[in-house]
């Protein structure tokens, strides 16, 4: 009966009464997951792999795994400016001198790939997208990028995993659509400099019809557009400690607008701590560290504040990052913070 109830709730969500895309806590370390305009923002290959277990303690609760990578294109992808030369000389991109000597990247192209596997109860979804962005140099200290992501979404319903109290298959599932493939499209813009960033993005903009049965009573579902607006600013507590507050506003019609307030504190280029508050949902604690010039690892835990806290043990998320082809040995993420 529990799985039948979960299926009913998921049907409602796919008809537009809740978000359809996975939820992340560590997007503040990987905005590329939400905005394709960040493709190629750094001058190395940025690879990440992550796993999220949401609402631990609840059977069949959402689980999400993802792999992403993006890089700059063209002969000038390894530009030599403050992004590369200054951190190499000092080994500390978090100090004040970095922002004082920062110069914007030259105009360039970027591309990448994102694959996300999301499972909740009997429903599973695989999204695979290629991304592209163009980075325009607005001034000596600011860039503006525009980007898009295009791909497919494969959505499946596992009818065999459903259980019913009388051991009889519900007639409504006798002609269930167990697998479907839909085109997917996202767009975004991103403004960034040494100490500030801001962006807008829209996921699932095509609004494809989405139904799991041929019954006229249950075939009105469709994908809904997810809108994200985010901004942040870096300021210094001293020469070796930087604090980056940020905010994200998410809107998925007709659900209420969601607000996230975030804070990350970075100690040199070695370790960072953070916290986040999602209105009417959770508090989160985050931590991460760099291993040499190539590897970083981050972990977050969400303390549920909604009514689910009576049955959920919170949510866990872990992300492994690699800075590939990092020939300038940049010790940490510069523009993605």
Q: Taking residues 216-229, what's their average pLDDT?
A: 78
Q: Cβ(211)–Cβ(219) under 8 Å?
A: yes
What is d(CA 178, CA 9) in angstroms, rounded to the nearest whole number?
A: 17
Task: Give domain status of residue 34, yes or no.
Answer: yes
Task: Give domain status of residue 335, yes or no.
Answer: no
11, exposed or middle or buried, with CB in 10 Å at 0-12, 13-18, 19+? middle
- Which of 24, 12, 49, 10 shows the shortest CA–CA distance to 250? 24
- Owner of token pair 């609402």: 55
pLDDT, residue 247, reads 95
* pLDDT of 35 above 70: yes
Q: Cβ(183)–Cβ(208) under 8 Å?
A: yes
pLDDT, residue 291, reads 83
pLDDT, residue 92, reads 52
118, exposed or middle or buried, with CB in 10 Å at 0-12, 13-18, 19+? buried
What is d(CA 280, CA 268) in angstroms, rounded to the nearest whole number?
A: 33
Q: Taking residues 72-84, what's their average pLDDT?
A: 57
* CATH number of the domain where residue 145 is located: 2.40.160.40
Structural domain span for residue 276: 2-324
* pLDDT of 293 above 90: no
Q: Is the dihedral of CA 313, 252, 48, 180 positive or negative?
A: positive
Cα angle, residue 307 at apex, residues 301 and 308 outer, rounded to 5°: 50
Q: Taking residues 111-134, what's their average pLDDT?
A: 93
* pLDDT of 165 above 90: no
Query: Where is pLDDT greater, at 148 or 4?
Result: 148
pLDDT, residue 298, reads 93
Task: Give domain status of residue 203, yes or no.
Answer: yes
Q: Cβ(189)–Cβ(208) under 8 Å?
A: no
pLDDT, residue 9, reads 41
pTM here?
Answer: 0.83
Q: Taking residues 218-234, what's their average pLDDT?
A: 85
Query: Residue 296 to residues 50, 68, 259, 276, 308: CA-CA distances in angstroms?
Result: 12, 15, 27, 20, 32
* pLDDT of 183 above 80: yes
pLDDT, residue 197, reads 94
Query: Checking phi first, is residue 216 left (phi over 0); if not, alpha (psi -120 to 50) or beta?
Result: alpha
Task: Give domain status of residue 250, yes or no.
Answer: yes
Task: Give domain status of residue 329, yes or no.
Answer: no
What is the domain count for the chain? 1
Task: Give domain status of residue 142, yes or no.
Answer: yes
Task: Give the total residue count for the chain.
Answer: 337
* pLDDT of 83 above 50: no
Task: Give domain status of residue 334, yes or no.
Answer: no
Task: Give domain status of residue 141, yes or no.
Answer: yes
């Amino acid at each position: 009966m529990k799985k039948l109830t979960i299926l009913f709730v998921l049907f409602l969500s796919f008809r537009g009464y809740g978000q359809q895309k996975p939820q992340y806590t560590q997007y503040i370390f990987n905005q590329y997951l939400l905005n394709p305009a960040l493709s190629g923002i750094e001058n190395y290959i940025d690879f990440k792999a992550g796993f999220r277990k949401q609402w631990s303690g609840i059977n069949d609760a959402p689980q999400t795994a993802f792999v992403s990578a993006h890089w700059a294109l063209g002969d000038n992808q390894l530009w030599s400016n403050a992004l590369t030369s200054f951190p190499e000389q000092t080994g500390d991109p978090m100090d004040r001198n970095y922002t004082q000597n920062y110069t914007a990247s030259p105009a360039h192209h970027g591309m990448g790939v994102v694959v996300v596997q999301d499972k909740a109860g009997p429903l599973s979804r695989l999204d695979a997208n290629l991304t592209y962005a163009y980075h325009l140099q607005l001034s000596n200290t600011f860039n503006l990028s525009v980007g898009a992501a295009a791909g497919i979404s494969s959505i499946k319903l596992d009818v065999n995993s459903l259980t019913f109290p009388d051991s009889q298959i519900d007639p409504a599932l006798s002609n269930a659509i167990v697998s479907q493939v839909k085109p997917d499209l996202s767009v975004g813009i991103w403004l960034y400099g040494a100490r500030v960033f801001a962006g807008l993005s829209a996921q699932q903009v095509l609004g494809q019809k989405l139904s799991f049965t041929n019954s006229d009573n249950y075939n009105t579902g469709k994908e809904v557009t997810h809108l994200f607006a985010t901004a942040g600013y870096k300021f210094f507590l001293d020469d070796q400690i930087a604090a980056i507050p940020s905010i994200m506003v998410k809107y998925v019609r007709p659900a209420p607008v969601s607000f996230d307030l975030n804070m990350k504190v970075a100690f040199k280029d070695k370790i960072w701590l953070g916290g986040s508050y999602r209105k009417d949902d959770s508090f989160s604690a985050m931590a991460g560290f760099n291993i040499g010039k190539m590897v970083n690892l981050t972990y977050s835990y969400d303390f549920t504040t909604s009514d689910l806290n009576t049955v959920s043990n919170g949510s866990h998320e872990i992300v492994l990052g690699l800075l590939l082809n990092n020939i300038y040995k940049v010790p940490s993420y510069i523009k993605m913070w």
